[in-house]
Structure 1
């Protein structure tokens, strides 16, 4: 990902120069901060969903496989981003002091010009000798390793975080003990690790090593926050894709069941109680198909309107995207079976032929035909319990639909 922060030019700025960049430059206001690189907006663009990004950052981001807004995951294309000239003018009007103010530079700069100014500032600290440029940044804390090129140094800094923190901890413990004067060592260590205010100007009396440490740690935190934000977005997108795939797979099984569907009617006892309290309550199965491009049906189960001790099972025709290619009314054979979980010989099975003249088998004009066809007294509820049809509080209903 393209980053436009001051830390992207390490090959041009010495370590001493990097350590002098003040917190005011590193921490722009939220409205001027790019959510991708976490630095000042450069050539800002505004998305159709109302978020601002650096031009290079968002254009690089949109080159991904599934381009979307890094903030709210809204789908984006290049046509959904526009130049934000108002914000550009606001940033150009901002002024910040040169980070080398402690050395005498009184320049007040646009935040975007600080990086280039540091390369020519007459008050910049002297560059390290050539043989010192590829020393570890933590050389003052005891790390003596040297490197041939920048990538090797970067790899070392990423892999040896714990080693460097241990070095810093040991050095700070010794410093705290040596500076103790009447106050407890524990209290001084606690004060030492208090985070500095972002708006505080560096003090001439501060230890150079401590300032260098804080700047390096701040840089590492910014990089880790950026990587964490990117990973969170990737995980959210993958979760959404998995959920979508799972839903699609469940629909595939319904479309390719060839008219033979097993409905696991769960939580049977509580649902029977609900339906007995109010006969208007009914339960419907998901829609299933007689073939991938065939008729769509569903099962309805409710308390019999004529006998509250019996269940009614009926079949309803449902609207599908292929109805115009099918012959109407639906004509065929329907078989309803209550499955006994242990003894198949006890299965309750009924077969019926459709009646084309009935409204139940006409072409649906709404999501589901209000008229169903089946048995209003299919089985006694008490017998379902006593003869073991209810297994683990589930009732299994099998329906086979064969058009002719």
Structure 2
């Protein structure tokens, strides 16, 4: 995403946190002698002009002596949170407004980089706007931000029509070429419109229609954003319900598995944990851990961890039961790797958790060879499926 698009995507700041020069969030905020806040780089560049004055009240300022760091405002801005611009694609991370740009460089929900010939074109491309976009949300932000620029292009286009076709410079002729405006009735015999008056009326009508369309577009954006938030909240609630009522039978789809494996090969301390699932609605809570074996990184380790719940005091401890762990083959079920183990109450791994996740796990530190998982086709669509079945006894 281009730098301008990133700035547009960040939530608009409050007036007190907005730089009067770049009209974005204050970055490295400073306070001038006359009491106005700016980004440090913005005001310094401004004061390099021949007549160094404050852009707000025209008071003379010296770059070296009349600008002071505003650490209080810096702290206030750092405490604000805004949603990632990729929320419409599934990223629900909340960040400081000043961290959004850095986050977007690594956000896994960024739209794919398209070849130049496959990018979306601006709606006003026929009028001279050459902007291109990776996806529809980026195009919409452009249309909202550059409305005045598009009006200018329309005006220039209409002016050329009048100059190049003076015979057709009437309101009817211009309207027919622009395809926007209904001309006066042909039955109006006493019409005294000149070409300039017709053009002015046409531009006024165009402007009014564009404003109405922009308002409708903004309303739709707000509705879509609200619906996206509601869907995200509903999906989160449904996933939590599913985890609570799965009765100890949990399917863990590990996405982007190839990248995770490469990352773990480079750093064997990296471990991946599943969401917590329950043996019943008010039963035990567990999660699965997946990593490369510390003894031999050629093997996959799969372990089970007990997790803390709000009703642990109603359960029998230590946990006792049977746990089955399977790595599912997507097409050949006979290749599925399954192991079953009985809990051992004397181990710390099955005692009542005193923190969110019991640091002690139990399972297989060398469950299966990583090479077998890759070569025998267990990975499908860059995804690995682990099934766990827990039966308390």
Q: Structure 1-normalised TM-score?
A: 0.45
RCO (CA 8 Å, sep 6+): is it higher in 1 or 2? 1
Larger of the two Rg values belongs to structure: 1
